[in-house]
Structure 1
Amino acid sequence: MKLYVLGLGPGDPKLLTVRAVEVLSQVRVIFVPYSTGTNRSLALEVISPYIQPRTQLKFLGFPMGRTVKTESLQQLARELEEGLKVSGVGAFVTLGDPTLYSTYFRLADFLANVEVELIPGVSSITACACRLNLPLAMGDQVVLLVPAAKARELNTLELVDTVVILKGNEDLGDIASSLAREFDLFYARRCYMTEEVLKKWDGTHERDYFSMLIGVRHRER
């Protein structure tokens, strides 16, 4: 059995890679994760233009907390394996890139006898930086990625040139205040989606998982 894990990019169907579109057109079954909290799958919205009439969709409900019971993940892995047994080859779709905070790696340890191939996708980090026209790094500069829930635990940013605060479903105000002394701050929400917001940080924001704060160290011009 073989499973392709497809990175879908930040949310615009036009930003899927050629390889991802090829796989979507070839496989007979696609595993689509969704949040059990909202019963919504952004991944499904992204792949909809590329789904073939003969393709079967299997939905996998993921609890979106910071910790998920092992039993729940084992059950999801079993459902995935059962779906693969029928067609032999399938695709698991995930927003962004599969190697960055992907739902797939919650399941990876519970999959047995499955050959896996990861297909890269455009990450929200680089996508939002592009929309803001910001360089994340030049030369030997240092970039730090940190979820908002962990940002308050940082002791020093002395060696960091760019800091990206991800998963902005937290109050970003105090985080921004601590960064503003050393960094120019930019806010991005749902890049390449219909609800997109892009701006220099002004203190107002939505608590949205698909938002981020990007800080670029003050530099002399």
Structure 2
Amino acid sequence: MPGSVDHLMSLRSVVSLFAVMIVLAVGGGVVLHDMYSAADGQAAAPDPAPVPVERDPEDRPGRREVRLSADAARHPERDAVRRVLQTYFDAINERDFDLWRSVVTSERLGTTEEDQWIEDFRSTRDGDMFVHRIEPARDDRLRVLVSFTSTQDVEDAPATLPEPCIHWWLALPLAAAGDGDGWRVDAVSPGTPPLYEAC
């Protein structure tokens, strides 16, 4: 019996040592992968998403410039993506449907009536737009993970969150422009609802 106990204890020791070696090997591999990826100029792990900027009510919704995370800034299409999103949000803030139409796809435009668009955004102001990631998507499209803050009259807010100030997180699909001039904001597929919360 004592021999069996000793054998069991030594077996546990071997298993424990083996488990530690696996953890160290995997951890070391991850560290080395990150080091070599950074040395090769490849994107490392994405930056953590910043907490929404909390501003005094008179300073909301915040900055009007679209900003990029360090991860998004490493993407080769970063400048084109920032330009199209800047125009997209400028159009909403300026109530300029023609400007908005210039940076959306025909599919997105086909689901939007001008009168309804003007009604939907009549009191909306967007700010603190932040691109977290730019990712490849199907059919040579891009998926842009973006957050922003909107202010609006309570009656123009979503029925599920009737608030004057809302933080939004959403994935915007971008498609290549038909004329080869950059990207256009595409129709959002029904299975990707935005996330939002009150400021």
Larger radius of gyration: 2
Q: What TM-score do you get using the length of structure 1 for normalisation?
A: 0.22
**Structure in which a larger fraction of residues adopt strand:** 1
Could you say which structure has the greater relative contact order, defined with CA pairs below 8 angstroms and 6 or more residues apart? 1
TM-score (norm: length of structure 2): 0.24
